[in-house]
Amino acid sequence: MVGMKVMRRVRLSVQAAAMAGTLLLAACTGSPHPANSTGTGVLLPATPTALPQFDPATFHRLLDQLKGEPVVVNVWASWCGPCTREAPGLAQVSNEYAGKVQFIGVDIQDQLAPARAFIDKYGWKYPSISDPNEAIRDDLGLLGQPVTVLFDASGARVFTWSGATSAAELRAEIAKVVSG
Does 180 fall in a domain? no
Based on the fold, state whether residues 76 and 160 are members of the same structural domain: yes
* Residue 77: C-alpha distances to residues 1, 44, 104, 173 (Å): 68, 19, 13, 23
Residues 73 and 24 in one domain: no
Q: Is residue 68 domain-shared with residue 114, that is, in the same domain? A: yes
Range of the domain at 14: 1-30
State the pTM of this model.
0.77
Mean pLDDT in each 10-residue stretch from start to end of the chain (180 residues)? 48 42 34 38 90 97 96 98 98 97 97 98 97 96 96 97 96 89
Residue 167's pLDDT is 97
Are residue 64 and residue 16 in the same domain, yes or no?
no
Residues 150 and 73 in one domain: yes
Q: Is residue 161 part of a domain?
A: yes
Q: Is residue 152 part of a domain?
A: yes
Distance in angstroms (rounded) separating the CA atoms of residues 40 and 42: 7
DSSP string, 96-157: HTTTTSEEEEEEES--HHHHHHHHHHHT--S-EEEETT-HHHHHTT--SS-EEEEE-TTS-E
